[in-house]
Structure 1
Amino acid sequence: MSIRHFSAGLAGLALLAAITTPAGAQPRLEVDCEAGRAHHVAARGVAFLVIHRGALVCERYDRGVDPGDSWWLASGTKSFAPVMVALAVQDGLLELDQPTAQILDEWADDPDQSAITIRHLLDQSSGLAVNPRNRRLPGYQRAVDTRQEFEAGERFRYGAVHFEALGEVLRRQLDADGLDPTPADYLLRRFLRPLGIGIAGWRAVDGQPALSEGTRISALDWGRFGQAVLARGQFGEIQLGDEEVWAAMFEPSAANPDYGLGWWLIRPDPDDWPLPFVAVAAGAGGQRLYVIPDLELVIVRMTRGVIDDRATRDQAWSDRDFLRRLIVARDAD
C-alpha cells in the first residue's frame, strides 16, 4: 500500500484550476501559486507545496534548496502525536478518554492528576505546569513528575510537557503489550513507512524521541503526511487508526476553541475568515502544514527552521494573511 508519490516536475504551474465549491452564490476559489510563494519567500521561506486532491499543483524551492532537503519542524511535530494515539486506540492499547493514571502509577493516588486523560494531554489542558521561560525540553519521566497547576480540562496551557508525558504513557503501554517501547518506531512501523513517508531525523531526550518538537522531514514527506491526515487514515478498504480519534483531532477543545488534538484550528468566521475551516500544524520559524478538508487541499511551507536558521524565530508570520493571498475568490461563471 502506498500513498500517491508526487513528481517534482511541476514548478512551472502558476495557477490551479478552480477549486470546487458548494452550489449557490459561492465565489469560485482558485489557488494563486505565485502570490503565495512571494509572501512565503519574503518571510524566509525555502519550500512551498500545494496539493489538491492528491495532485501536486504548486511546488517551489528557493534559496538553494531542493526537494531532497529536510528541515526541523519544531512544534509541527505535535501533529504526529494524535496519529500515534489513533493507531494505539485501533490496536486496543489505549482509549482517548482513558485516565492516564491507569498506566502512570505516579498519578494514581492523586485525586487531581488521576483525572488527566489521553485527550487532556493532546489538547494541552492536562493542567501540568508550563514554564514558558524554560526552553529545556523535558524527558518523558521528568514530564510525568511535573506538578499539576490546574485541574484537568480547566485551562489550555501551551507547552512540551503534555506531549512528553504522553510519550511515557505510550512507552509503558507498548512495553506492557510486548512491543518495541519507542513511540516513534511505533508510528513509523504502523503508519509512516506503509505510506512511503520518510523521517530524516527525530530528536531524542533521555533516549526517547521527543513528541513535542523532535522531527526533521522534507517538504514532500510532510505533504504526504498531510494527505494521510486529510484522508483520516482511510486508504481504499484499509483504515489506519481509529476513526473517532481522527474525527476528534479537528474538533475544538473545551479549553481552547482554536485548538484540537495536536492541531491549531482556523474556524470560519464571516467577519474575519470567510474561507473554509483550516487545520494547522505549526512550528517555530514559520514551519506550517495546512489541511483544508472542504477544499481537499494540503499546503506546506517550510523555512530552514530555528535550528538551521535562528533568524526565523523572530520572523513574523500570519497564517490568515498567507492563505488569503494563496486562495483567492473569483466571480463565479
Structure 2
Amino acid sequence: MTDFLPSPVAAGWERIAPDAAGFDAARLAEATAFAEGAESPWPMSLYYPDGRYVGIVEWNEKGPWSDIVGPVMPRGKPAGVIVRGGRIVAGWGETERVDMTFSVAKSYLAVLAGLAFDDGLIALDDPVGRTVDDPHFSGPRNGRITWRHLLTQASEWQGELFGKSDQVDHNRQIGPGADNSRKGDARDLKEPGTFYEYNDVRVNVLSYALLRRFGRALPEVLKERIMDPIGASDTWRWNGYSTSWVDVDGRRIQSVPGGAHWGGGIVISALDHARLGLLIQRGGRWGDRQLLSRTYLDAMLAPSATNPDYGFLWWLNRGQKRFPHATGESVFALGAGSNLIWIAPELDLVAVTRWMDQTKFDAFFQKVTAALA
C-alpha cells in the first residue's frame, strides 16, 4: 500500500473503502463527523462586528504594527481529508475549496529551505549574512544569525521588516490557554540560537532571505519544484503584503509571509495540503523522484535545541507530550483558525483538517487512531 501515489489532481485521487485501508468504517465515520462538527469559533468573515481582524484579537495585538497589509478572504466551513497508503479513505466538507491557512505556510517555507539546502544555496549553520548581502543580516547580533536559528525560531533577530518590528511578537504564546497579556512588550534579547520564540516577523525574515538566495519569487520555486511534481492543482496561491515588494537584481519581486498574521499567506485546498503531507510522509520522494533529500528531512523533523516539540517550522510529538493521542512519530503543520496537516508515518496516514476548534485536535486524533481495525 505504501508505494501507491495519487494521480495528478486533474485525474482525481483514487479512493479506497475504509475496511480495505484497515479502518472500522463506523468508527471512521464517527471521527469525520466529529471533525465536521468541531467548528472553529472564528467568524466566517475573519473580522469581528467591530471591524477587528480575528488574528489581532486572538493574539491580543495592539500598537503601531498591527495594520493588515495582505489580502484576507472569508473562511469556509470545516473540511478535511484522511489519506492512507496514498489513497483517500474519507473526506468531509469542501475539500477543493481554496482557503487561508495561516501558519501552515511556515512548514512550506521549511520545504523551500530544503530545496535551497539541496541546491547548495544555504548551509544550515552558516550565518545568513555570509551569502545574503543585506543590512538585515549584518551587525553584532543579526550578523551571527544562522539559517538553523531562523528555521527553529531561535534567531532573536532584531529589526523591522516591511513595516513590522520583531517586538510585535515579543512574549507571544500560542495554542489553547495562551497568555498574551504581555505580547508586544519589549524584552531583553538572548544570544542567537539560545531562546525559542514564536515570532512572525522573524519567519518573514527567513522568507525574505530565501528569496534573495533563489533570486526568484518563492511561489514560483514552490510550484516548479514541489507542487507541480506532486500533481497539485493550479488553484493555490501565496499572497504577500502591499509593503513587501523588493528589488532583486533590478526586478520587482514580492516577498511572501510565513502566515496570515497581517493578511496574505498561502490560500490552498485541503486536497493540495494532503499531497504536501504525503510527500513528507514518503521521505521527500514522489514516485521515482527525490524532491527533497533525506538528509534535509531528517534535520527538519529532528527536535531543535531550544524546543524539543519543534523542528524546522514543523511541530513534533516525541513522547506524545503535545498530543497524547497522536503517535509519537507524528509531525504537524499547524495554523491558526485552526488548520492542520497531520502526518503519522507509523500508520501510513496523512490527515488534513480545516477550521477545527484547536482544543479538539487531540480528541480527533484519538478517534482516528481508534478507528484502525
Relative to structure 1, is the Cα distance of residues 274 and 209 closer, same or farther in structure 2, using a 3 angstrom cutoff? Answer: closer
Aligned equivalent of 2:286, options 218, 229, 235: 235
TM-score, normalised via structure 1 length = 0.77
> How do 1:1-333 residues align onto structure 2 when only pairs under 5 Å count?
4-5=6-7, 7=12, 10=15, 13=17, 17-18=21-22, 32-44=27-39, 46-61=78-93, 65=94, 67-102=95-130, 103-106=132-135, 109-128=138-157, 129-132=166-169, 149-175=189-215, 181-198=216-233, 199-205=235-241, 206-207=244-245, 208-213=254-259, 214-269=265-320, 272-273=324-325, 275-303=327-355, 315-328=357-370
- Worse-superposed segment, 191-200 or 246-255: 191-200
Deviations 1:132-173 (CA, angstroms, capped at 9, x unpaired): 3899xxxxxxxxxx9992211111111212221112211222
Q: Which consecutive unaligned segments of at least 5 residues does structure 1 have?
A: 20-28, 136-145, 176-180, 304-311
Q: Is the 8 A contact 1:10 1:59 kept in 2?
A: no
Q: Is the 8 A contact 1:48 1:59 kept in 2?
A: yes
Q: Distance in 2 between matches of 1:17 and 1:49?
A: 14
TM-score, normalised via structure 2 length = 0.69
Relative to structure 1, is the Cα distance of residues 321 and 152 closer, same or farther in structure 2, using a 3 angstrom cutoff? Answer: same
Q: Distance in 1 between matches of 2:212 and 2:290?
A: 25
Deviations 1:302-327 (CA, angstroms, capped at 9, x unpaired): 12xxxxxxxx7xx4433222101111
Partner of 2:72: none
Q: Distance in 2 between matches of 1:266 and 1:320?
A: 12
Q: Is the 8 A contact 2:301 2:312 kept in 1?
A: yes
Relative to structure 1, is the Cα distance of residues 195 and 31 closer, same or farther in structure 2, using a 3 angstrom cutoff? Answer: farther
SS at match of 2:276: helix
Q: Kindly, what percent of the aligned residue pairs are identical?
A: 28
Q: Distance in 2 between matches of 1:134 and 1:209?
A: 26
Q: How many residues get paired?
A: 291
Q: Distance in 1 between matches of 2:88 and 2:167?
A: 39
Deviation, structure 1 residue 232: 2.4
Relative to structure 1, is the Cα distance of residues 151 and 32 closer, same or farther in structure 2, using a 3 angstrom cutoff? Answer: farther
Partner of 1:308: none
Q: Distance in 1 between matches of 2:20 and 2:28?
A: 8
Deviation, structure 1 residue 4: 1.5
SS at match of 2:302: coil
Q: Aligned letter for 2:328?
A: P
Q: Distance in 2 between matches of 1:72 and 1:244?
A: 31
The alignment's C-alpha RMSD in Å is 3.2
